[in-house]
Amino acid sequence: MTIPVDQLTDPAVRAFVAAVNAGDRAAFAGVLAPGATMSDDGSDRDLDQWAEKEIFSSGGHMDVESEQADGRALVVRYRNDTWGEMRTAWRFLVGDDGKVTRFETGQA
């Protein structure tokens, strides 16, 4: 069972997932704080390069299975055209301005 995007608890995380699923680069950029950072499987990556490869040019999509930590920790069935589908964990740090300052993802 998945949680509908519009029912995710944290507004910044909800906007992040919606932007990914819509393939909307502008909305994705709008959800991120200036200088936002990210890691994949424990390694820091260039956020722009990673997002282009893993989300936008490969049809990335997030089906949220569960959320914790007031909606800032998700377990997601993530799929894209490169890797297929995998179960992943996502953690988000959100600043006082409601923008994502960092996200970390990896195998769940």
- Domains located in the chain, CATH noted: 5-107 (3.10.450.50)
6 alpha-carbon distance from chain centroid: 15
Contact 16, 31 (CB under 8 A): yes
| Distance, CA of 42 to CA of 12 (rounded, Å) | 22
3-state DSSP helix/strand/coil % of the chain, to nearest 5? 30, 45, 25
| Mean pLDDT in residue range 66-73 | 97
Query: Strands 43-45 and 100-107: what pairing?
Result: unpaired
pLDDT value of residue 31: 98
pLDDT value of residue 5: 98
- Per-residue pLDDT for 39 more than 90? yes
Q: What percent of the chain has pLDDT over 90?
A: 99
Residue type, 99: K
pLDDT value of residue 1: 84
- Per-residue pLDDT for 14 more than 90? yes
Q: Is the whole model's pTM more than 0.85, yes or no?
A: yes
Residue type, 56: F
